[in-house]
A and B are shown apart, each in its own frame.
Chain A
Amino acid sequence: MSTPSPSLEHEMHELAPHIRVARARACALLLILADALSVLAILAGGGYLSALNTENQFRTAANHPPAFLPGLVVAIALVLSGLAYYWWERRVLRNGGAGQRTFFVLAWVLMIVALVVQTWISIILNRAYTTPYSAYESVITLLMWFMAFKHLLAAILGLLLFGRIMRGRIAGHEYLAEASGYWWYYTVVASLLMWLFALGLT
């Protein structure tokens, strides 16, 4: 087999910029689709068990919901994180990769705050519940830890983006800020939905 010349090899390897952008967007959206269906499965499962209320044991008087105020702190942190990310992303897209770092750091720190508080809520809650958990406690436990897991994923994404920002590798790859933003905003919205569902579950 003949060996291609180095310049040709480079040309072969490179993807057109519009393909890079489209593939990042598509990947983020498909990931969101798959994850949203997981969230939907939990919410539908919780609602289904609540509606069935098997042997009137779905939720007993002793089963309490997750603490409201810490949950509110998480919700506020998430919303602010989403807004800060949006601010940073707009600047990046407008200025060819040079956004205001402070806003990204703020978004990332707020996501970490949400992760820490959410983990704390889940631990406290599980200490309060006694085993075996009722179905209500089971659903709440799953929701709380799933939210924490989502915050963890977003925080890891933030860490990687932070690394790229520090290395100056967002310029020329602005679409990364946009596609990562899809996941960031989705994390905020999905977590808020799960929190509201947990509050409303009876």
Chain B
Amino acid sequence: MSSTTVATARRPNLINSLFPSVVSGIVLGVIGAAIAGVIVNAATHGGNQDATVSAVFTGWLLFFFVGIGAFNGVVKWGFARRDATPAEELQLAGQGQGLWRYFRFTTDHKVVGMQYLATVLVLFFVGSMGAFLIRLEQSTPGAIYFNPATYNTIVGMHGILMIVAAIIMVSGPFGNFILPIMIGARDMAFPRLNALSYWLLFSAIPIFLSTLALGGFQTGWTGYAPLAVQGLTPGMDAYCFTIIVFGVSITLAAMNIVTTVLVMRTKGMTWGRLPIFVWGVVLSVILGLTAFPTFIMSQVMVLMDRVFQTSFFVASYGGSNWLYEHLFWFMGHPEVYVIALPAMAVAAEVTAVFTRKPLFGYRLLIGSLVGISVLSVIVWGHHLYLSGSENGLAAPFMLDTELISIPTGVFFLVLIGTLWRGRIWVTVPMLFVMGMLVNFVIGGITGIFLADLPTNEILHGGMFVTAHFHFTLVGSMVFGFFAGFYYWFPKMLGRRLDTTLGQFHFWLFEIGFLGTFLSLFYAGLLGEPRWSANIAPPFATANLIASLFTILIAASVFVLVYNVVITLVRGELATSNEWGAKTLEWTVPTPVPLENFEHLPEVKSLPYDYGSPVPAAERGVPATEGGVAGAPLQAKPQVES
């Protein structure tokens, strides 16, 4: 009997579907959490709440992964009589399981990419609701809706949720779904590890949300110690566990992506021919791989201080808050570039496609991304200018922080050079790239004031900083994500998003964003401090304007949700090469077959050698002619009429 027949001959029943799946994972996870909590609570005679909570989280994690079947492959790797057959691997990759494969430990990189995409959108939605609550509270002077502790928890949850979502927003969905196809691979290097990295992220979400039931955390998203250690509620433990699990997830994902690009590139896909998006993702995850271990260790130390009464951050026993600040910001600043690099690469990718021009300064842009990666590791000290550290350190940190503006400037040069005299096809992805450029200029220039010690001394701790990093992370990088979202949505979901609604989404978002955060820049220049639930009367007008503009952002979120929903329900079917692009993902059919390529393609040139302003698909030319040899699984890509 053939392997295909074996794979499809197994009759699915309810038990086979549920075990293992997310359902069995949750059931076992809850049972494991309860048992671990009861045991540790009894062992400590109920005297160490943090230990009990930590045990509950550990039990949840361990048994969730048993329940979802994450250890099955490990055990088989060691003790099975033979390696998995291709049919078994395809079964694990979700073959013939319909939509249910999204709720299992499925190894197909496209399933994992879709899982990441759905999770990112949900996290953004929940995080943006937190933002609206913050703006609601700050719309008028006086704490009117929340008490300060609740407000602080909302700010902290909004912050860390958005940071987590932003870190994975490009590398998660597109890095998993698109990147392997882009380099001509059939899957990631380690499909099981890929599934594990996603489900680790998933398992951290209930832990994070449990902070609401555990009294919240009042430290803000940075989780600064010793406040984190002195915090009375075990909601802080939830924060620490979330970061640790997320850090492990990111590390595994990074290892997988780097290994995939190192060893799985198809014939002819040399480093000099890699799409710029691949470069951006690889550099981003390498940066994450080097930055996150210190963050994980900082949270391990905080947990030890809370659970075992160690004193890493307690001054009276020889500890120091500076240790936390160094460990945190050694991750915290590179993390900005972990978010930025892939979003910048998406912008470059999209710009080349919609200007129908080769990417201006391809190698220069790679150099600038590498330069940003290297410099970003040595700038963390600028977050400690006013913490009382050695004055002599300020100048070097100021210098290298400002040096980053050079490779970042190269990014602008490359994009403007690509746009220059191009026949720009103003699509929704391109609109988001334009918005990103505008916002990133503002975010970048205001960053210089914060990099300089004299101005930092005035602006530090104020709303100016809040506005600056929102311009950088949201106005620039989230806009980059949306450029990628609208660009790759037809390939990932096989349907076209509504263009008018997309444009509506963009304009609401851009106008709302500019109105909100330019107002907050003004409030910051007036001297409004951050981390205050109450706003003082002198800042009332600026905050009211900011809050009113937030309504536009909220409206844009709902437009996006509506657009996605109606597209999924009754959207137009997409063609295989929707934009006439030349990278490999557009040479395979839509929906993409399980193993992507029937025969692995051979690459013979850069994917940006556009000679014609007219999309190849529109001219009825098969997409495989764009410097790429190799056939998609179906006979030929669909051609737009």
Q: Give chain A's interface residues, CB within 8 Å of chain B.
A: 1-4, 6, 8-10, 12-14, 19, 22-23, 26-27, 30-31, 33-35, 37-38, 40-42, 45, 48-49, 52-59, 126, 131-139, 141-142, 159-164, 167, 169
Question: How far is the CB of B47 from the nearest CB of chain A, in Å?
Answer: 12
| B263 lies within 8 A of A23 (CB) | yes
Q: Which residues of A contact B304 (CB under 8 A)?
A: 138, 141-142
From B186, B258, B316, B323, contact of A49 by CB (8 A): B323
| B595 lies within 8 A of A131 (CB) | no
- Answer whether residue B327 sits at the interface, using C-beta atoms and an 8 A cutoff: yes
From B86, B292, B309, contact of A9 by CB (8 A): B86
12 contacts between A and B (CB under 8 A): A13-B595, A14-B86, A23-B189, A30-B259, A30-B289, A34-B292, A48-B322, A49-B312, A132-B309, A133-B309, A142-B310, A160-B78
- Answer whether residue B293 sits at the interface, using C-beta atoms and an 8 A cutoff: yes
Tell me the complex Cα distance, A13–B161, Å: 37
| B259 lies within 8 A of A26 (CB) | yes
Tell me the complex Cα distance, A33–B319, Å: 28
Listed from nearest, the 5 A-B pairs whose CB atoms lie closest are: A135-B318, A160-B78, A138-B310, A163-B78, A6-B2
- Answer whether residue B230 sits at the interface, using C-beta atoms and an 8 A cutoff: no
| A132 lies within 8 A of B314 (CB) | yes
- Answer whether residue B262 sits at the interface, using C-beta atoms and an 8 A cutoff: yes
Which of B295-303, B396-404, B431-439 contacts the other chain?
B295-303
**Which residue of chain B is the closest to A30 with respect to CB atoms?**
B255
Tell me the complex Cα distance, A133–B314, Å: 10
Tell me the complex Cα distance, A37–B634, Å: 46
| Known A27-B193, A160-B79; 14 more pairs at CB < 8 Å | A1-B589, A4-B4, A6-B3, A30-B255, A33-B289, A34-B254, A35-B293, A40-B293, A48-B322, A54-B319, A55-B315, A59-B318, A134-B318, A167-B79
Most B CB atoms within 10 A — which of A35, A126, A134? Answer: A134
| A136 lies within 8 A of B89 (CB) | no
Tell me the complex Cα distance, A34–B296, Å: 11
| B78 lies within 8 A of A135 (CB) | no
Tell me the complex Cα distance, A54–B80, Å: 55
| A49 lies within 8 A of B90 (CB) | no
Q: Which residues of B contact A132 (CB under 8 A)?
A: 309-311, 314, 317
| Interface flags, B308-336, vs A, CB<8A=1, else 0 | 11111011111110110011001000000
- Answer whether residue B264 sits at the interface, using C-beta atoms and an 8 A cutoff: yes
- Answer whether residue B445 sits at the interface, using C-beta atoms and an 8 A cutoff: no
Q: Which residues of A contact B74 (CB under 8 A)?
A: 160
| B262 lies within 8 A of A22 (CB) | yes
| A37 lies within 8 A of B290 (CB) | yes
Q: Which residues of A contact B264 (CB under 8 A)?
A: 19, 23
Question: How far is the CB of A20 from the nearest CB of chain B, in Å?
Answer: 9
Tell me the complex Cα distance, A22–B304, Å: 38
Q: Which residues of A contact B311 (CB under 8 A)?
A: 132-135, 137-138
| A41 lies within 8 A of B293 (CB) | yes
From A10, A139, A159, contact of B3 by CB (8 A): A10
Question: How far is the CB of A32 from the nearest CB of chain B, in Å?
Answer: 10
Q: Give chain B's interface residues, CB within 8 Å of chain A.
A: 2-5, 74, 77-83, 86, 89-90, 186, 189-190, 193, 251, 254-255, 258-259, 262-264, 289-290, 292-294, 296-298, 300-301, 304-305, 308-312, 314-320, 322-323, 326-327, 330, 589, 591, 593, 595, 597-598, 633-634
Tell me the complex Cα distance, A194–B86, Å: 43
Question: How far is the CB of A50 from the nearest CB of chain B, in Å?
Answer: 9
Question: How far is the CB of B556 from the nearest CB of chain A, in Å?
Answer: 36
| B263 lies within 8 A of A159 (CB) | no
Tell me the complex Cα distance, A146–B8, Å: 46
| A12 lies within 8 A of B595 (CB) | yes
Most B CB atoms within 10 A — which of A138, A139, A164, A169? Answer: A138
From B79, B297, B597, contact of A45 by CB (8 A): B297
**Which residue of chain A is the closest to B86 with respect to CB atoms?**
A13
**Which residue of chain A is the closest to B298 with respect to CB atoms?**
A41
Tell me the complex Cα distance, A135–B324, Å: 13
Tell me the complex Cα distance, A3–B262, Å: 30
| B4 lies within 8 A of A138 (CB) | no
From A2, A4, A54, contact of B318 by CB (8 A): A54
Question: How far is the CB of A58 from the nearest CB of chain B, in Å?
Answer: 4
If A19-B263, A26-B262, A37-B294 touch, whether A53 touches B318 (CB-CB below 8 Å) is yes
| A135 lies within 8 A of B4 (CB) | no
If A23-B259, A164-B78 touch, whether A135 touches B289 (CB-CB below 8 Å) is no
Q: Which residues of B contact A6 (CB under 8 A)?
A: 2-5
| B262 lies within 8 A of A9 (CB) | no
| B80 lies within 8 A of A167 (CB) | yes
Question: How far is the CB of B600 from the nearest CB of chain A, in Å?
Answer: 9
**Which residue of chain A is the closest to B635 with respect to CB atoms?**
A2
Question: How far is the CB of A130 from the nearest CB of chain B, in Å?
Answer: 10
Q: Which residues of B contact A59 (CB under 8 A)?
A: 318
| B259 lies within 8 A of A38 (CB) | no
If A2-B633, A163-B79 touch, whether A30 touches B258 (CB-CB below 8 Å) is yes
Q: Which residues of B contact A14 (CB under 8 A)?
A: 86
| B308 lies within 8 A of A131 (CB) | yes
| B317 lies within 8 A of A57 (CB) | yes
From A33, A34, A133, contact of B310 by CB (8 A): A133
Tell me the complex Cα distance, A116–B79, Å: 24
If A37-B293, A38-B293, A141-B304 touch, whether A169 touches B323 (CB-CB below 8 Å) is no
Tell me the complex Cα distance, A10–B319, Å: 58
Q: Which residues of B contact A40 (CB under 8 A)?
A: 293
**Which residue of chain B is the closest to A33 with respect to CB atoms?**
B289
Question: How far is the CB of A106 from the nearest CB of chain B, in Å?
Answer: 19
Tell me the complex Cα distance, A137–B254, Å: 34
| B86 lies within 8 A of A142 (CB) | no
Q: Which residues of B contact A133 (CB under 8 A)?
A: 308-311, 317
Q: Which residues of B contact A34 (CB under 8 A)?
A: 251, 254-255, 289-290, 292-293
| B320 lies within 8 A of A54 (CB) | yes
Tell me the complex Cα distance, A128–B315, Å: 22
If A23-B190, A27-B255 touch, whether A1 touches B593 (CB-CB below 8 Å) is yes
| A142 lies within 8 A of B300 (CB) | yes
Tell me the complex Cα distance, A34–B319, Å: 25
Question: How far is the CB of A21 from the nearest CB of chain B, in Å?
Answer: 9
**Which residue of chain B is the closest to A58 with respect to CB atoms?**
B318
| B296 lies within 8 A of A38 (CB) | yes
Q: Which residues of B contact A159 (CB under 8 A)?
A: 78
**Which residue of chain B is the closest to A31 with respect to CB atoms?**
B255
Q: Which residues of A contact B4 (CB under 8 A)?
A: 3-4, 6, 9
| B293 lies within 8 A of A27 (CB) | no
Q: Which residues of A contact B330 (CB under 8 A)?
A: 41
| B312 lies within 8 A of A138 (CB) | yes
**Which residue of chain B is the closest to A38 with respect to CB atoms?**
B293
Tell me the complex Cα distance, A23–B190, Å: 8
Question: How far is the CB of A18 from the nearest CB of chain B, in Å?
Answer: 9
Question: How far is the CB of A139 from the nearest CB of chain B, in Å?
Answer: 8
Question: How far is the CB of B180 from the nearest CB of chain A, in Å?
Answer: 13
Question: How far is the CB of B446 from the nearest CB of chain A, in Å?
Answer: 31
Q: Which residues of A contact B322 (CB under 8 A)?
A: 48, 52
Tell me the complex Cα distance, A114–B49, Å: 32
| A26 lies within 8 A of B86 (CB) | no
Question: How far is the CB of A136 from the nearest CB of chain B, in Å?
Answer: 7
If A6-B3, A27-B259 touch, whether A55 touches B189 (CB-CB below 8 Å) is no
| B3 lies within 8 A of A4 (CB) | no
Q: Which residues of B contact A23 (CB under 8 A)?
A: 189-190, 259, 262-264
